[in-house]
Structure 1
């Protein structure tokens, strides 16, 4: 019994101990440990200037422990903040560097946000030299220099800093940036990309012995690098000076014996012949692309280092031949020499580079045939030699040992392809471009064997015949891009389901119905074929579609209802088909180009079509649309502003200059064509306020009303056609301001009056104005005399006014004379006294005159 009680007591005590321990553990896990109050206040001060519209730091509240705030990490023992990481949180407003006053902070990353101002308090007085900061990244979001910093003196207290990144911050006022950086003895990495730096300060007394990574790309130094610049540190392994407007390389570069990666691309220096004396034995990566050398590569250039594995000299305007010293780079794996002016042959010794994996010689002026030794490069993964002046044959032997080949570009070449019909290559390609080569008339049979293709480009290669089953299987399994434009393939692919994101089959002879398309398709161009029938049901799911071109086929049905799910659609060309139905109001709000020309669409034009702010090309011509144009605010922003943001360019046939006219649809040309429909009513004034429109065609409708004076504000107008409507009234004088007008047709309307005088309006022949019976003036027949000569007409009016004034004057004088005459004579007649006095006055005057006359006569006789 005692044994049982003892056992029970032991079990009870054990259970009690377990519960106590468990309770303490649970309590300890849920104990809220408050972070340091000073750290909390500093973080809240930093937050005060931030606009956090997305609520990314909504946890930063006095209700929560700051060690649990988003992006904040504290030490487990001291509970002091050691790390703040808020990169890529779309924070806006003020970046207050008071956050650097966190005493135990070792890591701060505020990069890739949208701050617009940096506030730098007097942090030198609040930071001890025992600061723990090791990593500091304040790089801007878009490298657009919207963030400005006057100087870098505030960095001096951070003696422990090893990684400093300030890319994208405008530092153009900091003239001694290198001296400021020199105060950081532990610095390993410095990135000042796109900081608008414009000088290399004196470096004689500087020492950055710990620096291993230096990035000063995308600045504007406009100067030479000081000769002693690379004496700053001998431990540098990564140096990036890409696109910084540098003119020369100093000899002190030779001191960087540990340099592994050097990027001097997109600058303006020349390859000096003295480079053959350089020795960068540790260099493994060298990028000098995007420069303007305008010279050949010195023969000793590739003696710089024998350990080079990556060499990029593409797009650097290099002339001459490929130097033989290239063959010394036995470790070379990446060689990019594309987009230069290289001439001559590919060296036969190219096959002596056993480790080469990526070889790009495209877009040059290289000649001759491909050396057979090229087939020995068994490690070759990438071979791009298209767009040169090569000739000769390419056969099975050229690729005999290239079992690792993954990407092949032979485009724009004049090779004679001599592949055996039953040849099976030793490789499986993912990328193949044979654009603008002579492959036809048969589809190359060896391509059918490629099971891994993701991109196939056989545009303009003369193909007309395919193996139906093999061809169908091939294009069905390609997941990314298919380019077969400008061939003569005549196949029915209506039963296929194509899974590629980009499908370009335009300018062929494909027949039958349209194929089923993957919901992930992004760009489809099936124009200039003979497809018929309606749009497949599967097309209702094209949610990723951005570009659709079905121009010039035999398609029919209510196509627009099938595109309601395509909310990302930018370019829609359905012209020259037999589609019918109405234009829905639920089209993509991102549309930039809408072409429905030459179909059977009917009904009214929806108001929503004039609220597509990105639209710059609208063509609804040659349909059965009716009703009036919507009277609403035309929110066609791209037709009303200079800014244009679009990339897609294509060719279509438009009736725009009095004839069928082929031109490029591009953002540089804003077009509205509503011609040949049944539209009626007045044209809204809003249409004539789209000042960036260059082509406006409203012809062959029943539109009425006057041309508003605001048309004079459409100063970019180049083609205007309002013919065959019912417009009336005078042509506004403001049209004389359309100085770029090259095409004008106002014929067959009811315009009257005189054609305004203007350089442009009189330059068109009479056909631009005929069919307006009451319209006159050059270049039409003369108007009536009164209307023809306005200079004469005006003085005539003035003469008429003068005559009226004279008549009024003479009439007034006559009336006055008559009134005076009868006033005096009437008084003499009715008043006797006045009459006798008048007679006596006349007698006296007569007597005086008689006496005077006699005296004068007697005096004359005596003389």
Structure 2
């Protein structure tokens, strides 16, 4: 119970504590405690205390836990009034103050028990008592505490008390401060009427005390008009009555009932009378209607801090922000469902210091006016739908210490003005769409401790100025497009604890200076293009003067080379070592693990490493995960593996293992495997007995295991993914399959299984998503139990000897299917129109069977093939990190295995059957189809003219049918077509041409069509040949149109030219005179020439 309450209270430990506790400690508590201990006179610090009280104090001290024997070490002097935490009345010598608050708050919850000695009742003049933060081991509140009649200050908070709150607290009528915060205990109070007997009470904290049975709780609290501060966090008060008492808390300034699910809207109207209220905490109260909330907030004119987080409040945020006090300094509205434009949210709240609006549905852009909120210290808008750029004006917020903008749709570059925020401690802008480089000015943020820019589109190189951030503790830049080398200046970040730069495009070498980052705890440089050796890094870290705290080292998926330095074994705190998928070479020996006693995760897979460890080696560690795939470990499974009692994941694929699996391996790991991968070796003999936990992955594929699958193999197998493909397994399909309730993927392809499927009576693997049984010798009909596998996505039973008709329940029951591959069997009958119900189908392969009848026109309704698939994602969700779905697709004359890009591929193959009739026009609606093969059937009639609408087609095979007519001209528009086969049909006419079709210049793709002509076949006769891309009739129509256009152009040209000339003569006198003079001269010269010729 205490742990649950501690978790609840942790939800609200943030700026309110900073603000509230500052207020209490420096304005209320200090002055209050001084006056209480004083009692009207000066505290006695000299002289002797009363001996009986001295003995009582020593008895009390003897029962208090002091872990370092220094807390109460001053309690030896003769005068108890000089002891730490003790104060006395100057006149009488009586002890008036006892402060036994546990002085090491970081250890609270992990300390030994104390007890309250009954001698406490001897201190009858106590006015101040503090027992907080101790461990009283869930004892009840001692009677001695409530027997101190002069108490004015009592603090029992977080002291692990339990049981009922004594009503005798009501006898302490002089109490002004009462803190019973029970968040580390288990207190309850079924009646609070005793509160009405505390007329002077100013401060009350009963947080985490169960008051669910105190029906009079509000009435009791309301009877204390002097109350200024009330905390009832997670106290679970009962429902409020319909009629609330008249508001009487005239002095209230702090009202905190967070975590009280029974607080409803009615309390808002009641609180609107609290005009002096400065702090209102109503977080996690289950929800409020925004209307009454809007009205109540408008009445609280002095409100400075407002927390309404986690209340499922919907509606426009302006309804709240527009009505709060203009004096507001802290606003917390996170974890609601508020909508509206962020630009219109802030309004005139120019005094805001803290604003957090995380996890809402806010939209719009961050406004430039944000720069006017110069008092801001804490700004968080994470997990909304904010778009646009970060405004340059953010650089005006020079007091800002925390920025959280992660999880939005923010674009553009990080403004250079960010460098003006020299007080910034946290900068979180991850999970957005930010582009451009990290600005050089980030180096000005000398107080920055955490920088999160992960999951963006940041480009460019890391600026050298990042080395100026000497206080930086966490740098997260993963999942971006950062290029270039890691700056050498990173080696100067001596405060760095976490460095995460994975999944970028970094190159170059690891800077030598990174070996001096002796405070590093987590280093992840994986999935980059970093080259060079790791010796300087590992050797440097191993020589750190202080104990190195590095527990996680991720360097996988790079281009690292050289050897693994033996100094790796000196990094004592390492728990995770990931060096896989590099080009590391050399030997791995005992020296690499000498001091790695707490190593839990080791993966050196996919390197050229040779693991040289003696058979009798006993590792210093006990690991959860060991990965050595594609390393050289010898021909036997290392015997030292059996010392790993905690081992859950073992990757030894492609390591050169041979022969039978040793007998000890079958009895090893009695707790069961999570992931066992022994694939791609030369292991032989019967399948080993392996035990696995639920949802495990077992991969024994690509070996030489033989014999049947025995019941002993399945006895302790609870795998979700079982891959046994590419072995020599024989016998019948195992009946244990029916009872594998957790099975999601089963791959037994490429084995020697035979016989019929078992009858699964009333027990089915209903979680099954992928079934691969292709290339075996299975016989009989398609098993009907598959119709109960509603989640099935991939069904591959190709290359077997299955018979019968294709059942209609495939279309009715398996609506999630994305891959249906039944090729090369003995199925007969027609293809059911119900096939159209498979709206998610990407691959349909029914080739090489005895199917007959027409292709159903409903095939045009396969929705996943109608649209273009452009999202690359796992075809199935089952452990996508560890399993990648794969399917064989026969296309372009060869069979290719698709895996990574399978979600982008669409294919229909109905070839080599006895299908007849015409190709349905509806088929051409599959505009997203990539591969279509209808060859070797008896299809007739014309190729549909709209086949050119299938714009994504890459391969089209209609060969060996009875198709007639001309090849549609639109076929020339298929720009992605790279494989075409129309051979052996009855096609005629000219072959259409286009830039793409001209690349398909093999005559064999048209052979067997005697009336086809044109490239790449023989030229068509001129008088008969159709025009390029069309018919002769089209050519003649084109010629007629061209002649008409030519004649029309000549007529229009003559008319325009003639009237242009004549019009100019009429309108322009100078031109007209010049023209006629020119004509006269020409006539005169012609006359002279004519007379001259006549004389001759």
TM-score by length of 1: 0.72
CA RMSD of superposed structures (Å) = 4.6
What's the counterpart of residue 698 of structure 1? 934
Structure-2 residue corresponding to 1:684: 920
The aligned residue for residue 669 of structure 1 is: 905
Q: Indicate the residue corresponding to 1:570 in structure 2.
A: 793
Report the equivalent of 1:727.
963
Structure-2 change in CA distance of 1:157 and 1:278 (3 Å) = closer
**2:24 aligns to what?**
none
After superposition, the Cα gap between the structure-2 partners of 1:547 and 1:98, relative to the gap in structure 1 and judged at 3 Å, is farther
Aligned residue number for residue 420 of structure 2:
229
Per the alignment, do residues 604 and 69 of structure 1 end up closer, same or farther by CA in structure 2, a change over 3 Å counting? farther
2 CA distance for matches of 1:296 and 1:722? 54
Q: What SS is found at the alignment partner of 1:489?
A: strand
Structure 1 alignment gaps of length 5 or more: 1-23, 37-66, 799-863
Task: Give the direction of change, closer, same or farther, for the CA distance of 1:596–1:472 in structure 2 (3 Å limit).
Answer: farther
The structure 2 residue matched to 1:529, chosen from 711, 727, 737, is 727
> Aligned residue for 1:248?
440
How has the CA–CA distance of structure 1 residues 358 and 167 changed in structure 2, closer, same or farther, with 3 Å as cutoff?
farther
> Matched residues in 2 for 1:476 and 1:702: separation?
59
Whichever of the two has the greater Rg, that structure is 1
Q: Is the alpha carbon distance of 1:323 and 1:138 closer, same or farther for their aligned partners in structure 2, counting shifts above 3 Å? A: same
Deviations 1:713-742 (A, max 9, x none): 112222211222333344333333334332
| Residue 502 of structure 1: aligned partner | 697
| Conserved? CA contact 1:228–1:252, under 8 Å | yes
- Residue of structure 2 aligned with 1:176, choices 355, 369, 375: 369
Q: CA 1:76/1:399 → structure 2, altered by over 3 Å: closer, same or farther?
A: same
Whether contact under 8 Å (1:395, 1:419) holds in the other structure is yes
Matched, 1:305 2:494: yes
Q: Distance in 2 between matches of 1:448 and 1:466?
A: 17
Shift of 1:706: 3.0
Closer, same or farther: CA 600–79 of 1 in aligned 2, 3 Å: farther
Counterparts of 1:417-816 in structure 2, within 5 Å, are 417-473=611-667, 478-493=672-687, 499=693, 500-514=695-709, 516=714, 521-540=719-738, 541-556=764-779, 558=781, 560-584=783-807, 585-586=809-810, 587-632=813-858, 634-645=860-871, 646-648=873-875, 653-660=888-895, 666-752=902-988, 755-756=991-992, 763-772=1000-1009, 779-780=1016-1017, 787-788=1024-1025
Q: Hey, what's the Cα distance between the residues in 2 that align with 1:98 and 1:766? A: 81
The question of whether the paired residues in 1 share the 8 Å contact of 2:1013 and 2:1020 is answered with yes
Q: What displacement does 1:506 show?
A: 3.4
Give CA deviations for 1:380-416 in whole Å, capped at 9, x if unaligned: 1101122333222112332233221111110121112
Residue correspondence of structure 1 range 121-132 to structure 2 within 5 A? 126-129=323-326
Residue in 2 aligned with 1:156? 349
DSSP 3-state at the match of 2:964: strand
Q: Is the 8 A contact 1:519 1:543 kept in 2?
A: no
Question: What is the match of residue 332 of structure 2?
Answer: 135
* Aligned residue in 1 for 2:1066: none
After superposition, the Cα gap between the structure-2 partners of 1:563 and 1:497, relative to the gap in structure 1 and judged at 3 Å, is farther
**For residue 581 of structure 2, what is the aligned residue in structure 1?**
387
Residues 706 and 730, structure 2, Cα contact 8 Å, conserved in 1: yes
Report deviation, 1:428.
2.5
Is the alpha carbon distance of 1:223 and 1:626 closer, same or farther for their aligned partners in structure 2, counting shifts above 3 Å?
Answer: same
Distance 1:388 1:736, change over 3 A: closer
- Closer, same or farther in 2 for the Cα pair 1:273/1:32, shift >3 Å? closer
Alpha-carbon distance change, 71 to 149 in structure 1, aligned in 2, over 3 angstroms: farther
Matches within 5 A, 1:321-400: 321-340=509-528, 341-347=530-536, 348-352=539-543, 354-400=548-594
2:239–2:262 CA contact under 8 A, matched in 1: no
**8 A Cα contact 1:521 1:542, kept in partner:** no
8 Å CA contact retained: 2:415, 2:439: yes
Q: Distance in 2 between matches of 1:797 and 1:156?
A: 79
Deviations 1:258-316 (A, max 9, x none): x5433244545755555555532xx433334456665555555344334x332223345
Q: 1-side partners of 2:572 and 2:499: how far apart?
A: 20
8 Å Cα contact 1:346/1:366 also seen in 2: no
Asked if the contact 1:269–1:291 (Cα under 8 Å) also holds between the matched residues in 2, the reply is no
- Stretch of structure 1 that moved more, 325-334 or 130-139: 130-139
CA shift digits 1:207-262 (9 cap, x unpaired): 546x556445763352443266324xx4x5433233644322445411x2xx5433
Change (3 A) 1:436 1:755: same
2:392 to 191, 201, 220: 201
Whole-angstrom CA distance in 2 between matches of 1:528 and 1:157: 70
- Whether the 8 Å CA contact 1:511–1:531 is kept in 2: the answer is yes
1:653-676 superposed Cα distances (whole Å, 9 cap, x missing partner):
544223555666623332100112
Change (3 A) 1:110 1:608: farther
Aligned mates of 1:269, 1:758 — CA distance in 2: 42
Secondary structure in structure 2 of the residue aligned to 1:490: strand
Distance across 2 between alignment mates of 1:561 and 1:765: 46
Give structure 2 stretches of 5+ with no counterpart. Answer: 1-213, 220-237, 246-258, 273-279, 739-763, 876-883, 1038-1096
Mapped contact 1:567–1:589 kept (Cα < 8 A): yes
Q: Distance in 1 between matches of 2:340 and 2:942?
A: 52
Q: 1:130–1:147: structure 2 CA closer, same or farther, 3 Å change rule?
A: closer
Equivalenced residues, count = 723
Distance 1:111 1:644 in 2: 39
Which piece of structure 1 moves more, 102-111 or 605-614? 102-111
Question: Are the counterparts in 2 of residues 526 and 549 from structure 1 also a CA contact under 8 Å?
Answer: no
Cα pair distance change 1:655/1:131, threshold 3 Å: closer
